[in-house]
Amino acid sequence: MSSIQAMAERGAAPALAQARVQPPAASVRTGPWRQGLAAALAWLLLGVLTWLWPNKEIGFSDWAYTTEFAALTAAVAVLLAALALAGGRAGRVLRWLRPAGAWLIAAPVLLAVWEVATAKLGLLPPPFFAPPQSLLEVYLDDTARLGISVAYSLRLLLQGIVIGSAVGFVTGVWVGWSRVAGYWVHPLLRFLGPVPASALLPLAFFFAPSSHSAAVFLIALATFFPVAVLTWSGVANVSKSYYDVARTLGASEWFLVLRVAIPAALPQVFVGLFMGLGASFSVLITAEMMGVKAGLGWYLQWAQGWAAYANMYGALLVMAVLCSGLITLLFAVRDRLLGWQKGTVKW
C-alpha cells in the first residue's frame, strides 16, 4: 500500500509543479477593469464641468480652447471606458495601464481643481496662473517655436551627455585600475568635482569659440563628475577573487579590465549616468539662457520676458516629459546590459 501511495505521489508531482507555475483560470482577469471605469467617469465629469460651467471674465478675453479641452477629456473618457470594458481582450495596452489606475483617477481630479481655481472662480490671478486649456493653446498655436526649441535642447543635451559620459567613464576606469592615476587624479576629482558646472559659466563663455560649444562643455562637465566618481568606485570595489580566478586561467591585464572590472562596475556606472542626466538638465537651462538662439532655456526666458506664463508652464511640462523619457530609455538600456546580473543587482 505504501509503494502504491509513493507511486501516486511521484506521478502527481509534475502536475503539482505545473499547477504552481500556472495560475488558476479563476485568477485571470477577464472581467471589466473597475479602476478604468472609475477613471473614465472622472475624465467625463471633468469635461462636463469644463464645458457647462462658464469661465469667469478676466478683463481682456475669455480663455481660448475651453471647448476643445472639454472634448479632449471626453475622448479620453471614452477611450478608457472602451479599454476597461474590453478587459483581457485589450491585451498589452490594458496590462500597461493597470498599474497607473490610481493616477488615471487622480489626474482628472487635480485638473478639475486647477480648472475651478483659475478659469471658473478666478481664485488664482491671471496671467501668472492659467487654466489647463491654456497649455492646449500653447501646444497648438506655438508648435513651431516650441518644437524647434525642443530639437535644439535635445541636440545640445545629447552632445554634452555623450561627451561627458565617455570621458567620465574612461577616467573612472583609469583611476580605479591604476595606482598612479588614483594618486594624481583622484584628489583633483575630489577637489574640483563638487564645484557646480554653472559656476564656471563665465570662464566657459570666455574661452569657448561659440555659445554652443560653451553650453556643450558645461553639460559635459556636469555629467562627467558623477560618472567618473561612481565608475572609479565600482572598479575599485571589485572583489579581488574575480581577478585571482581570471589570472589563474591566464587572463591578461586588458582582459581583466574589459571583461572583469568593467562588467562588475556597470551597476555603479549606471547610477552615475542617472545622476549625470539630472545634473545636465539643470545646467542645460542655465547654459541656454546665455547667448543661444533657440532651446528650452531660451524659450523660458522669452516667455518670462513677454509675461507669457502659459508658455512657460508648457515648456516646463515638455522638459519634465523629456527628462522622464530619457530616464526610461536609460533604464531600458541598463536592464538589457545587466540582465545577466539579475539576482545580484537590486532592481
pLDDT attached to residue 224 = 92
- Tens of pLDDT, residues 108-126: 999 999 999 999 988 888 7
SS3 345: strand
Boundary-marking domain end, from 74, 99, 129: 129
Boundary-marking domain end, from 129, 160, 195: 129
Is residue 134 in some structural domain? no
**CATH number of the domain that residue 267 is part of:** 1.10.3720.10
pLDDT value at 283 more than 70: yes
Q: What span, in angstroms and rounded, lies between the C-alpha atoms of 16 and 13?
A: 5
Domain with 63, as residue range(s), is 31-129
Is residue 23 in some structural domain? no
Is residue 8 in some structural domain? no
Is residue 18 in some structural domain? no
Q: Are residues 110 and 153 in the same domain?
A: no
Q: Are residues 172 and 297 in the same domain?
A: yes
Q: Are residues 175 and 79 in the same domain?
A: no
Supply the mean pLDDT for the chain: 83
Three cell numbers written together for 78: 471614452
Amino acid at 297: G
Is residue 5 in some structural domain? no
Is residue 26 in some structural domain? no
Return the higher-pLDDT residue of 207 and 37: 37
Q: Are residues 154 and 97 in the same domain?
A: no
pLDDT attached to residue 343 = 53
Q: Are residues 101 and 183 in the same domain?
A: no
Return the higher-pLDDT residue of 186 and 122: 122
pTM: 0.77
Q: What is the 3-state secondary structure (H, E, C) of 252-306?
A: CHHHHHHHHHHHHHHHHHHHHHHHHHHHHHHHHHHHHCCCCCCCHHHHHHHHHHC
Is residue 6 in some structural domain? no
Of 185-194, 222-231, 244-253, the one with minimum mean pLDDT is: 185-194
**Which string of b and e fits 21-34 if b means at least 16 CB within 10 Å?**
eeeeeeeeeeeebe
DSSP state of 24: P
Q: Are residues 197 and 67 in the same domain?
A: no
Boundary-marking domain end, from 73, 102, 129: 129
Among residues 129, 232, 118, 225, the alpha carbon closest in space to that of 173 is found at: 232
Q: Are residues 193 and 116 in the same domain?
A: no
Segment 214-228 mean pLDDT = 90
pLDDT attached to residue 9 = 45
pLDDT value at 146 more than 60: yes
Q: Are residues 336 and 304 in the same domain?
A: yes
pLDDT attached to residue 151 = 93
Number of domains in the chain: 2
Q: Are residues 186 and 288 in the same domain?
A: yes
Of 39-43, 82-86, 173-177, 244-248, the one with minimum mean pLDDT is: 244-248
Is residue 7 in some structural domain? no
Among residues 274, 281, 266, 271, the alpha carbon closest in space to that of 315 is found at: 281
**Which string of b and e fits 265-300 if b means at least 16 CB within 10 Å?**
bbbbbbbbbbbbbebbbebbbbbbbbebebbbbbbb
Q: Are residues 179 and 239 in the same domain?
A: yes
Q: Are residues 190 and 90 in the same domain?
A: no
Q: Are residues 123 and 148 in the same domain?
A: no
Would you say 258 and 246 are in contact if contact means Cβ atoms under 8 Å apart?
A: no
Q: What span, in angstroms and rounded, lies between the C-alpha atoms of 48 and 113?
A: 14
Q: How confident is the model at residue 67 (pLDDT cuts 50, 70, 90)?
A: very high
